[in-house]
Amino acid sequence: MAAGATTARTPSLHYWRTQRALSQQELADHAALHVMSVYRGEHEQPMRLAVIRRLAAVLDVAPADLMRQPPAERQELGRVAEERTPYGDPEPPV
């Protein structure tokens, strides 16, 4: 990495990519990056800010959105999925 290069982690990259219904390869292609760059970013490995800006532009979000934790909405969806029965129906109230 070049001297003075600034990097950051992107904990919300996977969230925003799936919100836009893009595969890792599609996002990489649109951002003119290698698919491994997207993979690394989704696994919270540090990325150069220039790469984060390119990904954010494709996803139509601010770079800071990728560097934040995913929105609470995602956490809420996980909670709802945990409450479902094996048949996909919500558990009846007790």
pLDDT tens, position by position, for the chain (94 residues)? Answer: 444 469 999 999 999 999 999 999 999 999 999 999 999 999 989 999 999 999 999 999 999 999 999 987 555 555 555 554 455 555 555 5
- H or E stretch covering 8: strand 7-8
pLDDT at 89: 52
For 7, the 3-state DSSP assignment is: strand
CATH pick for 7-82 out of 1.20.210.10, 3.40.50.300, 1.10.260.40, 1.10.10.60? 1.10.260.40
Domain ranges in the chain are: 7-82
Burial class (CB in 10 A: 0-12, 13-18, 19+), 88: exposed
pLDDT at 72: 76
pLDDT at 8: 96
